[in-house]
Chains A and B, each alone.
Chain A
């Protein structure tokens, strides 16, 4: 009996912590409110008639996908930002770490729970998106949609890992969430263009900007909305796989940093 339970104690602890995070997500109202918002706004967009043509669909897809991305970022960042501070404030972190749950398992469990919760949210959001798109276009490019959902989920793995790192660095979850939002949106908007800016700069500053360009996570790779909206078809599988591996490695690096900071943190009752 003891050999069975001790075979994967670390994995059991990680999944146990993750399970708690997922249960917390569907008990809170965040997901339902955001999902309702997406549904209502998308249906309003779809109900508008332009030139009596009911076959126009891309602007609806555009609006729906934008809402999905914004809402998924809200869920990822707010869920991840409150995990460790909430445990600390409610003092449940003490018995948790007093049990044979290592700090690494704790961080991994929180990350996995947040990431899986994001995955569940994405499934619901994209299911609705698929319904709307198929109802107008009478077609469902399953492969392209699957790739888009997967890449979106991979992007959120980097975001969740970044926010968890932030939650062990910053004291208040609100400041962590705000800074994370600004950083993530900034990277998605401008991160991919830093190389062009760096080329126009001279000397050390150009080199510094280029270094930042390489160091920052390339979250813009995972935003394939233009390909989905305009029906460009599926992405090359090698590129898709490469982006997935990049996300796994980058998230792992961020979580390792979070673990290194967290294990040096002392908690006083």
Chain B
């Protein structure tokens, strides 16, 4: 009885340490798994470009995002900027360099037509090694729900990510998109988007400096659900919220004005 009383707190401490989602890999590799997690995410980006990828010897501009991350965040960049980022090879430096370019990929392409599945193993491994890094969850989910038409697997993977990162508004945004675009369930989607927005504000209030573009994306999706549900008053309120954070306000303001006119007209008719 005395032994049980003495050992019980130790057992509880040990049990909670081993029941983390990282499992065997975390126990074996410790914190070095985060390095490998990032490297596997880079491998996924390399696969996205079918092997056309800078090595550690090729210079990369600081602050440059991985293409895979930008695609899954649905950020659109100009063609010129994209070409500049991908010209890491430059002109051949000498005859041997020119000749050697026959033996490795030298054209910038992105996987398409269902071949995006080839990135999935690396994204899965990256998430396994560092469950607190959310980019692998977002990238895998984006491709699973869009090109690969597999929203079920996307949702399952995102929920794993949510278990490891319960305060992640990015994962909630992606989860909401599955419900809105794939399952056509705007009501559930809106609830998830609302939760994501709440998490975003919570992080901002705590001094976390969350990305305002993500807030704009969440509000944009909320506006789409309102449009889908035909809730014009709520849509107007949400669009006015969106106007405060949206980067491009011109077209949004005109849409708000149109909606106000429409609402005024419908009230007049009533």
A50 touches B99 (CB 8 A): no
Give B266 Cβ to nearest chain A Cβ, in Å: 46
Chain A residues closer than 8 Å to B100, beta-carbon distance: 192, 218, 220-221
B104 touches A224 (CB 8 A): yes
Give A125 Cβ to nearest chain B Cβ, in Å: 20
Asked whether any CB of chain B lies closer than 8 Å to the CB of A123, the reply is no
Chain A residue nearest to B101 in the complex (CB): A239
Q: Given contacts A227-B103, A227-B105, A239-B103, is CB(A50)–CB(B51) below 8 Å? A: no
Q: Given contacts A51-B153, A221-B99, is CB(A195)–CB(B105) below 8 Å? A: no
One of A14-22, A95-103, A228-236 contacting the partner: A228-236
A196 touches B57 (CB 8 A): yes
The docked-state distance in angstroms from the alpha carbon of A240 to that of B102 is: 8
Give B144 Cβ to nearest chain A Cβ, in Å: 7
B103 touches A195 (CB 8 A): no
Chain A residue nearest to B100 in the complex (CB): A221
Within 8 A of B (CB), among A199-254: 199, 213-214, 218, 220-224, 226-227, 229-232, 235-236, 239-240, 242-243
Within 8 A of B (CB), among A113-140: none
One of A3-11, A52-60, A86-94 contacting the partner: A52-60
Chain B residues closer than 8 Å to A56, beta-carbon distance: 117-118, 120-121
Asked whether any CB of chain B lies closer than 8 Å to the CB of A169, the reply is no
Q: Give the interface size bracket for A toward B.
A: 35 or more
One of B89-97, B162-170, B220-228 contacting the partner: B89-97
Q: Given contacts A58-B118, A221-B100, is CB(A53)–CB(B57) below 8 Å? A: no
Chain A residue nearest to B118 in the complex (CB): A58
Q: Mask for B138-170, Cβ within 8 A of A = 1, else 0?
A: 001000100010100100010000000000000
Chain B residues closer than 8 Å to A214, beta-carbon distance: 96
The docked-state distance in angstroms from the alpha carbon of A193 to that of B59 is: 12
Pick from B50, B103, B121, B122: contact of A224, CB below 8 A: B103
B103 touches A235 (CB 8 A): yes
Q: What is the predominant secondary structure among interface residues of chain A facing chain B?
A: helix
Count of chain B residues near A, Cβ 8 A = 28
Chain B residues closer than 8 Å to A52, beta-carbon distance: 153
B118 touches A57 (CB 8 A): yes
Pick from A48, A229, A243: contact of B103, CB below 8 A: A243
A242 touches B99 (CB 8 A): yes
The docked-state distance in angstroms from the alpha carbon of A14 to that of B102 is: 35
Asked whether any CB of chain A lies closer than 8 Å to the CB of B124, the reply is yes
Q: Mask for B119-136, Cβ within 8 A of A = 1, else 0?
A: 011101000000000000
The docked-state distance in angstroms from the alpha carbon of A213 to that of B122 is: 34
B120 touches A50 (CB 8 A): yes
The docked-state distance in angstroms from the alpha carbon of A218 to that of B102 is: 13
Chain A residue nearest to B123 in the complex (CB): A50
Please, could you name 20 A-B residue pairs with CB atoms under 8 Å apart, sorted by A?
A: A48-B121, A51-B144, A55-B117, A56-B117, A57-B118, A190-B57, A196-B57, A196-B93, A213-B96, A221-B100, A222-B103, A226-B50, A226-B105, A227-B103, A229-B51, A230-B51, A232-B105, A235-B102, A235-B103, A242-B99
User: A interface vs B, CB < 8 Å?
Assistant: 48, 50-53, 55-59, 151, 190, 192-193, 195-197, 199, 213-214, 218, 220-224, 226-227, 229-232, 235-236, 239-240, 242-243
User: B interface vs A, CB < 8 Å?
Assistant: 47, 50-51, 55, 57-58, 93-94, 96-97, 99-100, 102-105, 117-118, 120-122, 124, 140, 144, 148, 150, 153, 157
